[in-house]
Structure 1
Amino acid sequence: MNILHLSAECYPAAKVGGLADVVGALPKYLNKRKVNASVLMPKYGNEWMKNHSFETVYEGNAPLGENKFKFKIQKGENIALGYPLYVIDIPGRFDRPGIYSETETGCSFDDTFERFLSFQIAALDWVKSMSDQPDIIHCHDHHMALLPFMISRSNRYQLIAQIPTVLTVHHAQYHGRFELQKTALLPDFDSKHRGLLEWDRQLNCLAAGLKCCWQISTVSPSYMQQLSEQSNGLEWLFENEQQKSRGILNGIDTAVWDPDSDSLIAQQFNDDTIAEGKLANKKALSRRAGFDLQYPLISYIGRLAHEKGADLLPDLFALFLSAKQPVNILLLGTGDRELHNQFEKLNRQYPDYFHAELDYNETLAHQIYAGSDFLVMPSRVEPCGLNQMYAMQYGTVPIVRNTGGLKDTVIDLNQPDGYGITFDEFTLEAAEQALWRALDLYQKDEQIANLRPRIMGLDFSWNASANDYIKMYSALIE
């Protein structure tokens, strides 16, 4: 069974969020099960790409509307990822540092549609040329969602139209919406199919993919259920396509996220050395942030975005900081510029209790998971969430809103066999109450000492999820 994954992100080559972690891990676990899985992604002008070698395996010249563009398919050389990594080099489109936006200004690229459309066209041209074609083409998110339409409806790809396509929706708030005139850039297709590209009088990439792919998957069962109620205008479509949809919970790469072998943390630890390990890593964080080690440490890691509930955090943190509550709060993330300003203000007001690093820092993220007592995730929308799983791998107790994949992975301490702190409503009051519960738990030495090995022992690896994907692929091929 040959599976080709197409994605805008793949860890460690290029990462903005959880999409990269999933695409960087799932193929590895599929290959461990004797499935030939590979990844195809854009060749960005970032440091990772510059520091690795690639061999050209195919060159082409493809249409983009009335124009043509040249591209190269290149295979990574001596890159130990657990799967073959291929990149598409399109001069003038991806050879810049940013993935979706300018690195300096944060503004989206003006040619976003042309970038990812040309990538998908080049990918299908390559597949069409192969002597050993993939059994499944697995597309990830709206950046790759025009591919199911093109492979099934474009005259250029009639010879490979029988290859099944899977579209995994990692976050349905983002659709890839553009003016309908952009449809003229696609390879020729019968005009009677134009409606498949349209949703609400716009070209909607995600909607087109949902209509045309053979199989829809999402990253948790609960999120699959929520999409027909909350998907930023695609609710009816998700409801209508339920017969070909399923939710498969994401896993995490336990080879990367393992406190017993993690080279990015101050001191490695395991089930037998949790107390010493957590203390040593908390000391490292406290030195960096200027915190008093004796206080509980609550952290947040993630994009500073509306769907992550990050706009709730300044007021939530200020409630505890202004009351001189003995708690330390650490934040790592980047995003909304107004939130940057608010967190910088908290940095100045409470330097001994609050520390925000407004950046993307993979090394620091590992250290925060290892050294924090609690990790808070107040998400409005959370398709799956990986941070809560990473935190538990390192003995850090999650504080999460009961939604999407957070609901599937964190059971409240008040429930039988519970191990985390959850809250239902997206309100300041509900989040505040959850943090008070965390501070109360911190005072119960025996309870928290027993809780940490329990959450570290939970299995959030890709093992079960990879098996579910294989079953899905097999059913499509049959």
Structure 2
Amino acid sequence: MKIFNLSMECYPVAKVGGLADVVGALPKYLNQIESIESCVVMPCYNKPFVHEHSFEIVFDGWIHQSNQMFQVQVMKERSQSLGFDLYLVKIPALLDRDNPYGYWDESQQFLAFQHGVLHWLSAMKIRPDVLHCHDYHTGLVPFMIEYCPEFSFLKGVKTIGTIHNGEYQGQMKWEMAKFFPWFRGENSGLLDWNGFINPLAAMIKCCHAFNAVSDGYMQELFDNFRGLESLVRQEGGKAYGIINGIDTEVWDPATDAFLDFNFNKKNALAGKWKNKKALCEEYQLNPDLPLFSFIGRFAGEKGADLLPDIVEQSIQQTQGSLNIIILGSGDKNIENRLRDLNFTYSNLALDLGYKEFLSHKIYASSDFLLMPSRVEPCGLNQMYAMRYGTVPVVRYIGGLRDTVEDITTGGSGLNFANATADETVNAMHRALQIYHAPGLMDLLVQSNMNYNFSWEQSAQKYLELYRK
């Protein structure tokens, strides 16, 4: 069975968020299953991975977008170093940039990527068993292969759409239709939602099956989906929830090259302490205090706007008997407020930006991980944290509901109901009680490292869906 994953991100080639981690791991684990051949197709970026690896050109052609012609090159990584075949689509002036997102013409970028991929597959007579489309950036593919005559060779190929985050739908004005491959006007309703082209809505309408990245999030979409609630209810017969996994080879405290000190379940307490001590020395924190951390984008959906109030309230209410380390970037107002607090409180360490190596160090060193999310389709951070013996403190929503049960009912972490600074800080007070309870924290560290969030289980569920 040949599966082609279409995505704008894939770790370690180009990463912005959890999408990259999923696309970089799922095909690798699928390929360990007999009879599965899973690959990734993504845009070409000006990234170190691309320059450091060897590629061969497997296709060179042209596509029309409106009144322009664009060259399309498809390059295949020679060594299969990621555990799967990796194809990069290069379109000069559109798909050869530094980053996946943030450009004024990104709608045209995404259209060109989808057009280029389908042109390549059609021209080379490559017919996958399943085209797996990740998020709205590739959500027009199910429509195009069914209703654009240019891709008639691919008509009938099964398509699956995965919703990694329904907050982003790719809505665009109808004037963008001029950049589409030709299709009959009578089929335009499949692209439309409330007078706009909506790629995510089109994906749901046209794909053979779609899934969200957790059961909890899939259920939430039926009632809260940024205006698509009625559509997901209408198409609910082909909806599935499959929780993401984590790559336990990349995220393994026993072998993680980013850590100052490696550890396993047997020596976890000593190993975490050594890493914590080294990290605290680097950021001038007291290692004898409990360490809370936040890792992620400074965006409202992550509850990052609550961080300044969380920092102030928690430090003031505990008279400075805890430390907080924050790694992330995004909203400039949040960044500026945190900068000010970083000068005010010696208990706060702030590192603006995103550093993959530092995230590993923080997971290994922290006692608690904060996730005050407003929206969390799956969440990977809590799984990384537990893999490294860290206790997640999370809002009870989306995928966090599926993966973090409260300690009061025998679970692995601490839950709170609403995304507010007050409720987060109250949960932190509960965390401090656990931290200071004799033996309880040590027990949690050990038990959390026993949880299995490997992709092996999730890959089997995707395989079942492919077979359906």
Under a length normalisation based on structure 2, what TM-score does the superposition of the two structures give?
A: 0.98
For 1:337, the equivalent position in structure 2 comes to 332
Secondary structure at the counterpart of residue 414 of structure 1: helix
Secondary structure at the counterpart of residue 131 of structure 2: strand
Is the 2:320–2:347 Cα contact (8 Å) retained in structure 1?
Answer: no
CA–CA distance in structure 2, aligned partners of residues 150 and 451 of structure 1:
50
Is the 1:411–1:422 Cα contact (8 Å) retained in structure 2?
Answer: yes
Is the 1:219–1:247 Cα contact (8 Å) retained in structure 2?
Answer: yes
Does residue 369 (structure 1) correspond to residue 350 (structure 2)? The answer is no
Secondary structure at the counterpart of residue 143 of structure 1: helix
Q: What letter corresponds to residue 17 of structure 1 in structure 2? A: G
Does residue 411 (structure 1) correspond to residue 412 (structure 2)? The answer is no
For 1:17, the equivalent position in structure 2 comes to 17
Secondary structure at the counterpart of residue 280 of structure 2: helix
For 2:258, the equivalent position in structure 1 comes to 264
For 1:106, the equivalent position in structure 2 comes to none
Cα displacement (A) at 1:131: 4.2
For structure 2, the residue ranges without an aligned partner over 5 or more in a row are none
Is the 1:45–1:94 Cα contact (8 Å) retained in structure 2?
Answer: no
For 2:57, the equivalent position in structure 1 comes to 56
Runs of 4+ in 1 over 3 A off after TM superposition: none
Q: What letter corresponds to residue 143 of structure 2 in structure 1? A: F
For 1:105, the equivalent position in structure 2 comes to none
Does residue 460 (structure 1) correspond to residue 460 (structure 2)? The answer is no
Is the 1:154–1:188 Cα contact (8 Å) retained in structure 2?
Answer: yes
Cα displacement (A) at 1:50: 2.2
Cα displacement (A) at 1:132: 4.5
For 1:66, the equivalent position in structure 2 comes to 67
Superimposed CA distance per residue, residues 325-370 of structure 1 (whole angstroms, 9 cap, x where no aligned partner) = 31000000011010000110111101x2001111110000000000
2:347 pairs with 342, 353, 364, which one? 353
CA–CA distance in structure 1, aligned partners of residues 125 and 109 of structure 2:
27
Does residue 448 (structure 1) correspond to residue 457 (structure 2)? The answer is no
Superimposed CA distance per residue, residues 41-84 of structure 1 (whole angstroms, 9 cap, x where no aligned partner) = 00011222222221100111111123221110100122511101
Cα displacement (A) at 1:450: 1.1
CA–CA distance in structure 2, aligned partners of residues 112 and 409 of structure 1:
34
Is the 2:66–2:178 Cα contact (8 Å) retained in structure 1?
Answer: yes
User: How many residues matched?
Assistant: 466
For structure 1, the residue ranges without an aligned partner over 5 or more in a row are 102-108
Superimposed CA distance per residue, residues 414-458 of structure 1 (whole angstroms, 9 cap, x where no aligned partner) = 11x312101112222211110100111110130111111111010
Superimposed CA distance per residue, residues 151-181 of structure 1 (whole angstroms, 9 cap, x where no aligned partner) = 1111111221110111000000000011111
CA–CA distance in structure 2, aligned partners of residues 295 and 162 of structure 1:
60
Superimposed CA distance per residue, residues 98-132 of structure 1 (whole angstroms, 9 cap, x where no aligned partner) = 2202xxxxxxx111011111110110011113345
Secondary structure at the counterpart of residue 63 of structure 2: strand
Secondary structure at the counterpart of residue 177 of structure 1: coil
1:198 pairs with 192, 195, 212, which one? 192
Does residue 437 (structure 1) correspond to residue 438 (structure 2)? The answer is no
Does residue 140 (structure 1) correspond to residue 130 (structure 2)? The answer is no
Does residue 78 (structure 1) correspond to residue 71 (structure 2)? The answer is no
For 2:289, the equivalent position in structure 1 comes to 295
Secondary structure at the counterpart of residue 360 of structure 1: coil
For 2:2, the equivalent position in structure 1 comes to 2
Is the 1:221–1:246 Cα contact (8 Å) retained in structure 2?
Answer: yes
Cα displacement (A) at 1:141: 0.3
Secondary structure at the counterpart of residue 161 of structure 2: strand
Secondary structure at the counterpart of residue 137 of structure 1: strand
Identity %: 44
Under a length normalisation based on structure 1, what TM-score does the superposition of the two structures give?
A: 0.96
CA–CA distance in structure 2, aligned partners of residues 387 and 280 of structure 1:
21
Does residue 118 (structure 1) correspond to residue 138 (structure 2)? The answer is no
